[in-house]
Structure 1
Amino acid sequence: MSYVAVASVLACVVGALNLVLVMGVIKRLREMSPSPTAEPPRVTLLPGDRPGPFTAEATDGEVIDAAGLTDSLVGFLSPDCSACKDQLPQFLAYAQAMGGRERTVAVLIGSPEELRDLAAQVGPVARVVMEPPFGPVATAFSTRGYPAVVLLDGAGTVSHSGATFATFPKPDRLMREAARV
């Protein structure tokens, strides 16, 4: 009879210990997970920031630098990024609506071999710069993830940025504002 009592007490102690450990794990997971109202992680410069100095050569041989990027859209894309593939149609449409190649730069991250198809897709509407991770343009824009899109105003200051175009103004409104200036 004493064996049954000892086994019952032991089972209760193990069950209570398990409950305490599970509650600790749940508390830790709640602390580590972002709240649903938290801001999305920063992927590039924030509005009001200015990109650092850089010089890069586009695939067509044009030299692009920070001083020349005013009233421009700059997108950072990687071929192995599923979110980049999802955002590509929006990037192409926004670039086309902004005036195409003259006001858009697509910075493609990776090796030239893996970027060939992506460059062919964005080339008609954007000047294409290919660079490895942490290249000069990505570094100048403090890019931390892909996709990243940045809209620069007439002074070369970031007016909008993020991983999507959700907070960006409609391109037709931008064109009307630029025409008034």
Structure 2
Amino acid sequence: MRRGTIPGSSGRVRPMRLLGDPGLGAPCEEVTDFGAELSALIEDMFATMYAASGVGLAANQIGVPLRVFVYDCPDDEDRRHLGHLVNPRLVAAEGITVRGPEGCLSVPGIEAATPRFDEAVVEGFTADGAPARVRGTGFFARCLQHECDHLEGGLYLDHVTGLRRRRALRAVRRAPWATAGPSGA
């Protein structure tokens, strides 16, 4: 991404994969080529995330099984965090556990109270291959954990239990976008 450009402004919006798509349930592969193709993917991911009014997007949500995510997410103090991570690893998730509303662009229109740690640290690389470390608190920590889950083949619904889970899955079955129901959810 060139300096001074708006992320996603040169990208194209790609179709979103929805719950039930097998690509969402499989761990993603490491990125080995840090070239122009990766930069174009990141641009497309930003364009897709913004078109869907999201705060984060993992590559497998648009059908690319690579360890990449983008974000444009506020924290609890309304500070904006904007960026991307390649080959990210959640290296710390700590602090208090907060159960808060969480949704997903691959499960549109359905939220569930999901427990997440209030602090998270993710390490990875930029599109240029430079090491990167991102620390988040509050809502941004939730976003970081959510996107890392995607890259491991997980969804926020995997963290929801009991009555909250049953309600969320019932909403999925009734959702207009649901075709075959929540496989693996």
Fold match (TM-score > 0.5): no
**More strand per residue:** 2
Larger of the two Rg values belongs to structure: 1
**More helix per residue:** 1
The two structures have a TM-score, normalised by structure 1, of 0.25
Greater relative contact order structure (CA < 8 Å, 6+ sep):
1
